[in-house]
Amino acid sequence: MAASKSINTQNAAHSPMPLLQTHHPFPDTTFGLWHIVEEESFFRAELPLSEAEKAELALHQYPTRRLEWLAGRWLLHQVSQSPTRLTLAKDAFSKPFFPENQHLSCSLSHSKGTVAAYILTQKNEAKPTLMGCDIQVMTEKMKRVSLKFLRIEEKKWVESRPDLDELELLHLFWSAKESLYKAHGMKQLDFRAHILVDNIDWDGLRGTGLGRVEKGDFKKSFYLSFGKIILPDGAPLIWAACKGA
């Protein structure tokens, strides 16, 4: 598993960027995390938007959500390593994609002022590899809602690992299932009934696992990669990225 590295950008000098790092969880993929300290004016000046994107941004009234929306797209542009920003659109299920660059697939996530961008270079555009990502700043609330997304065998696995942090493991499962949900891309999935996560290998900082989505005629296996970082404010964040097997 490749080590993280800093992203070099031409505009780095104009932005504090306390957290800007990338991982390559799988071949042909790049996953980036960015903790936002910039003002909206920075992104509006540096990030060209399509008319459709301007209309979508206008729907977000809360300043934090606007910043996350803009920062996610800015980070996606950075991890794409394209000299000019690639046009980004959304399909009928709100999944982002590059309409003019079908050899690339992407996924975005945000959590409490931190954003993630995940990009995959497709080897076969006619049969694209499914992918998705998710990030979650850790919260005690996850314990209260775990029964809504953990299958019985997953719950037993968590309980059988007393040497590992229960809250971390719950976030691993949640983030993994969110990433698989996004990879499926057509919504209407039940996290307990349709999404399975197993074979988790976790050392408290990085890990791997396997995922499976099964609904009707759709049956697909995925590779999973996990990580944990401590944000500048001291809060732990869990990330997950998946790629179709």
Where exactly are the structural domains of the chain?
A: 5-244
What is the domain class of 5-244 according to CATH? alpha beta
Q: What number of other Cβ atoms are within 10 A of residue 143's Cβ?
A: 11
Tokens of 25: 């969880």
Quick one: pLDDT at residue 184? 96
Chain centre distance of CA 176: 9
Region 2-7: mean pLDDT is 39
Report the C-alpha gap between 75 and 174 in whole angstroms.
Answer: 23
| pLDDT digits 0-9 by tens, 19-60 | 568 899 999 999 999 999 999 999 999 899 999 999 999 999
Model confidence band, residue 163 (pLDDT cutoffs 50, 70, 90): confident
Worst-scoring range by mean pLDDT, 17-31, 80-94, 98-112, 204-218?
A: 17-31
- The pTM assigned to this predicted structure is 0.91
Q: What residues contact 86, with CB distance under 8 A and at least 6 apart? A: 77, 80, 98, 100, 101, 104
